[in-house]
Amino acid sequence: MLLRLRRHRADKRALNPKPQRGRIAVTGVRPLGAVALLSALVECGFAVEAIDDPLAFLNQGRGTVVVMALDTVVRRRLLLTLRSRHPEAVVVGVAARVTADGVRQALLLGADTVIDVGIAPAVAAGTVVQATRGMTCIPIDIARAVADVPPTPAVELTDEQLEWLRRLAERGDIEKLARSTHHSRSAMYSRLSKLHHQLRVKSNDDAVRWAADRGLL
Protein backbone atom coordinates (compact mmCIF):
# COMPACT_ATOMS: atom_id res chain seq x y z
CA MET A 1 0.00 0.00 0.00
CA LEU A 2 1.51 3.31 -1.12
CA LEU A 3 0.47 6.33 0.90
CA ARG A 4 0.38 9.68 -0.86
CA LEU A 5 -0.43 13.16 0.35
CA ARG A 6 -2.74 15.42 -1.58
CA ARG A 7 -0.86 17.62 -3.97
CA HIS A 8 -0.23 21.19 -2.90
CA ARG A 9 -0.82 24.06 -5.23
CA ALA A 10 1.96 24.65 -7.73
CA ASP A 11 3.10 27.90 -6.16
CA LYS A 12 3.48 26.33 -2.70
CA ARG A 13 5.28 23.34 -4.16
CA ALA A 14 7.72 25.64 -5.89
CA LEU A 15 8.42 27.56 -2.68
CA ASN A 16 8.66 24.49 -0.43
CA PRO A 17 9.71 21.46 -2.50
CA LYS A 18 9.66 18.25 -0.48
CA PRO A 19 12.83 16.14 -0.49
CA GLN A 20 12.53 12.84 -2.30
CA ARG A 21 14.01 10.18 -0.02
CA GLY A 22 12.94 7.03 -1.85
CA ARG A 23 10.81 4.14 -0.65
CA ILE A 24 10.56 3.00 2.94
CA ALA A 25 8.95 -0.18 4.30
CA VAL A 26 6.86 0.04 7.45
CA THR A 27 5.68 -3.15 9.14
CA GLY A 28 3.73 -3.97 12.28
CA VAL A 29 3.27 -0.43 13.59
CA ARG A 30 -0.52 -0.16 13.26
CA PRO A 31 -1.30 -2.37 16.29
CA LEU A 32 1.04 -0.15 18.32
CA GLY A 33 -1.03 2.91 17.44
CA ALA A 34 1.59 4.54 15.21
CA VAL A 35 -0.62 5.14 12.18
CA ALA A 36 0.15 8.87 12.24
CA LEU A 37 3.82 7.99 11.78
CA LEU A 38 3.05 6.87 8.23
CA SER A 39 1.74 10.29 7.22
CA ALA A 40 4.65 12.01 8.95
CA LEU A 41 7.11 9.90 6.95
CA VAL A 42 5.32 10.88 3.74
CA GLU A 43 5.61 14.53 4.81
CA CYS A 44 9.36 13.97 5.10
CA GLY A 45 9.51 12.89 1.48
CA PHE A 46 9.37 9.09 1.74
CA ALA A 47 7.18 6.88 -0.43
CA VAL A 48 5.82 4.62 2.30
CA GLU A 49 4.88 0.97 1.80
CA ALA A 50 2.97 -0.63 4.68
CA ILE A 51 3.90 -4.29 4.23
CA ASP A 52 4.16 -7.59 6.09
CA ASP A 53 7.45 -8.82 4.61
CA PRO A 54 10.30 -6.30 4.90
CA LEU A 55 12.81 -8.98 3.90
CA ALA A 56 11.17 -9.28 0.47
CA PHE A 57 11.17 -5.47 0.21
CA LEU A 58 14.96 -5.44 0.69
CA ASN A 59 15.61 -8.57 -1.39
CA GLN A 60 13.76 -7.07 -4.35
CA GLY A 61 15.70 -3.80 -4.13
CA ARG A 62 12.58 -1.68 -3.62
CA GLY A 63 14.35 0.35 -0.94
CA THR A 64 16.91 0.25 1.85
CA VAL A 65 14.99 1.66 4.84
CA VAL A 66 12.73 -0.40 7.11
CA VAL A 67 10.68 0.81 10.08
CA MET A 68 9.38 -2.15 12.07
CA ALA A 69 7.67 -2.96 15.35
CA LEU A 70 9.74 -5.03 17.77
CA ASP A 71 6.86 -6.24 19.93
CA THR A 72 7.25 -10.01 19.41
CA VAL A 73 10.00 -12.63 19.35
CA VAL A 74 9.15 -13.30 15.69
CA ARG A 75 9.77 -9.66 14.75
CA ARG A 76 12.96 -9.48 16.80
CA ARG A 77 14.26 -12.57 15.06
CA LEU A 78 13.29 -11.03 11.71
CA LEU A 79 15.38 -7.99 12.60
CA LEU A 80 18.36 -10.27 13.16
CA THR A 81 17.79 -11.79 9.71
CA LEU A 82 17.44 -8.39 8.04
CA ARG A 83 20.72 -7.20 9.51
CA SER A 84 22.49 -10.42 8.54
CA ARG A 85 21.34 -10.41 4.92
CA HIS A 86 21.29 -6.65 4.35
CA PRO A 87 24.00 -5.01 6.47
CA GLU A 88 23.69 -1.83 4.39
CA ALA A 89 19.99 -1.36 5.20
CA VAL A 90 18.73 1.21 7.69
CA VAL A 91 16.46 -0.49 10.22
CA VAL A 92 14.48 1.54 12.76
CA GLY A 93 12.69 -0.27 15.57
CA VAL A 94 9.35 0.90 16.96
CA ALA A 95 8.43 0.14 20.57
CA ALA A 96 5.35 0.77 22.68
CA ARG A 97 7.68 2.18 25.31
CA VAL A 98 11.38 2.92 24.92
CA THR A 99 13.49 1.71 27.83
CA ALA A 100 17.22 1.20 28.26
CA ASP A 101 16.76 -2.59 28.18
CA GLY A 102 14.56 -2.42 25.11
CA VAL A 103 16.95 -0.15 23.22
CA ARG A 104 19.92 -2.30 24.18
CA GLN A 105 18.06 -5.37 22.97
CA ALA A 106 17.18 -3.71 19.65
CA LEU A 107 20.74 -2.46 19.07
CA LEU A 108 22.13 -5.91 19.83
CA LEU A 109 19.79 -7.32 17.19
CA GLY A 110 21.08 -4.78 14.68
CA ALA A 111 18.61 -1.88 14.76
CA ASP A 112 20.08 1.52 13.94
CA THR A 113 17.80 3.32 16.37
CA VAL A 114 14.51 2.89 18.24
CA ILE A 115 11.52 5.22 18.42
CA ASP A 116 8.68 5.34 20.94
CA VAL A 117 5.15 5.29 19.51
CA GLY A 118 4.21 7.83 22.16
CA ILE A 119 6.36 10.65 20.79
CA ALA A 120 5.07 13.17 18.25
CA PRO A 121 4.89 11.64 14.75
CA ALA A 122 6.96 14.47 13.28
CA VAL A 123 9.70 13.84 15.83
CA ALA A 124 9.60 10.09 15.14
CA ALA A 125 9.82 10.71 11.39
CA GLY A 126 12.76 13.06 11.98
CA THR A 127 14.50 10.26 13.88
CA VAL A 128 14.07 8.01 10.85
CA VAL A 129 15.57 10.70 8.61
CA GLN A 130 18.55 11.01 10.98
CA ALA A 131 19.04 7.25 10.87
CA THR A 132 19.33 7.40 7.07
CA ARG A 133 22.19 9.87 7.62
CA GLY A 134 24.01 7.47 9.92
CA MET A 135 22.93 9.03 13.22
CA THR A 136 21.08 7.39 16.10
CA CYS A 137 18.73 9.63 18.06
CA ILE A 138 17.76 8.27 21.47
CA PRO A 139 17.32 9.98 24.86
CA ILE A 140 20.60 10.84 26.59
CA ASP A 141 19.91 8.75 29.70
CA ILE A 142 19.21 5.69 27.59
CA ALA A 143 22.24 6.36 25.39
CA ARG A 144 24.42 6.34 28.49
CA ALA A 145 22.88 3.10 29.68
CA VAL A 146 23.56 1.29 26.39
CA ALA A 147 26.91 2.88 25.55
CA ASP A 148 28.72 -0.46 25.81
CA VAL A 149 26.62 -2.30 23.21
CA PRO A 150 29.01 -4.24 20.92
CA PRO A 151 28.64 -4.55 17.12
CA THR A 152 26.16 -7.22 16.05
CA PRO A 153 27.66 -10.17 14.14
CA ALA A 154 25.94 -11.16 10.91
CA VAL A 155 24.08 -14.24 12.09
CA GLU A 156 20.81 -16.04 11.52
CA LEU A 157 19.42 -18.65 13.89
CA THR A 158 17.30 -21.56 12.73
CA ASP A 159 14.17 -22.72 14.54
CA GLU A 160 16.14 -25.76 15.70
CA GLN A 161 18.99 -23.68 17.12
CA LEU A 162 16.57 -21.42 19.00
CA GLU A 163 14.87 -24.49 20.44
CA TRP A 164 18.25 -25.79 21.66
CA LEU A 165 18.88 -22.49 23.42
CA ARG A 166 15.41 -22.45 24.97
CA ARG A 167 15.89 -25.96 26.36
CA LEU A 168 19.37 -25.16 27.62
CA ALA A 169 17.96 -22.09 29.35
CA GLU A 170 15.32 -24.23 31.04
CA ARG A 171 17.44 -27.27 31.99
CA GLY A 172 21.07 -26.71 31.02
CA ASP A 173 21.56 -30.45 30.48
CA ILE A 174 23.19 -31.35 27.16
CA GLU A 175 22.50 -35.08 27.47
CA LYS A 176 18.77 -34.47 27.96
CA LEU A 177 18.85 -32.03 25.06
CA ALA A 178 20.53 -34.64 22.86
CA ARG A 179 17.94 -37.29 23.74
CA SER A 180 14.98 -34.97 23.24
CA THR A 181 16.25 -33.85 19.84
CA HIS A 182 17.26 -37.37 18.73
CA HIS A 183 20.98 -36.63 18.47
CA SER A 184 23.85 -38.56 19.94
CA ARG A 185 25.74 -36.86 22.77
CA SER A 186 28.80 -36.26 20.58
CA ALA A 187 26.68 -34.94 17.70
CA MET A 188 24.93 -32.54 20.08
CA TYR A 189 28.26 -31.25 21.38
CA SER A 190 29.46 -30.77 17.80
CA ARG A 191 26.34 -28.81 16.83
CA LEU A 192 26.55 -26.63 19.90
CA SER A 193 30.23 -25.97 19.24
CA LYS A 194 29.35 -24.73 15.75
CA LEU A 195 26.66 -22.54 17.27
CA HIS A 196 29.20 -21.07 19.70
CA HIS A 197 31.45 -20.19 16.77
CA GLN A 198 28.53 -18.68 14.88
CA LEU A 199 27.58 -16.45 17.82
CA ARG A 200 31.22 -15.74 18.75
CA VAL A 201 30.74 -17.07 22.28
CA LYS A 202 32.64 -19.61 24.37
CA SER A 203 29.99 -21.64 26.20
CA ASN A 204 26.37 -22.72 26.31
CA ASP A 205 25.72 -20.19 29.07
CA ASP A 206 27.14 -17.45 26.86
CA ALA A 207 24.98 -18.61 23.94
CA VAL A 208 21.84 -18.60 26.09
CA ARG A 209 22.72 -15.14 27.40
CA TRP A 210 23.32 -13.94 23.81
CA ALA A 211 19.81 -14.99 22.80
CA ALA A 212 18.21 -13.74 26.02
CA ASP A 213 19.82 -10.31 25.67
CA ARG A 214 18.16 -10.00 22.27
CA GLY A 215 14.73 -11.11 23.45
CA LEU A 216 14.81 -14.32 21.44
CA LEU A 217 14.00 -16.76 24.25
Chain centre distance of CA 24:
14
Confidence of residue 13 (pLDDT cuts 50, 70, 90): very low
How many CB atoms are closer than 10 A to CB 12? 10
Task: State the DSSP string of 56-110.
Answer: HHHHTTS-SEEEEE--SHHHHHHHHHHHHH-TTSEEEEEESS--HHHHHHHHHHT
Q: What number is the average pLDDT over the span 187-206?
A: 92
| Maximum distance among all Cα pairs of the chain, rounded to whole angstroms | 74
**Do the first three CATH levels of 2-145 and 159-213 match, i.e. the same topology?**
no
Listed by start position, the domains of the chain span 2-145, 159-213
Segment 26-68, tens digit of pLDDT: 998 876 666 788 888 998 889 999 899 999 999 999 999 999 9
Whether residue 10 has pLDDT greater than 90: no
Q: Does domain 159-213 have CATH number 1.10.10?
A: yes
Q: What number is the average pLDDT over the span 131-143?
A: 85
Whether residue 101 has pLDDT greater than 80: yes
Per-residue pLDDT at 20: 66
* Pairing mode, strands 2-3 and 46-50: antiparallel
In CATH terms, the fold of domain 2-145 is Rossmann fold (3.40.50)
Separation between Cα atoms, residue 208 and residue 217, nearest integer Å:
8
Whether residue 26 contacts residue 50, with contact meaning beta carbons closer than 8 Å, is answered with yes
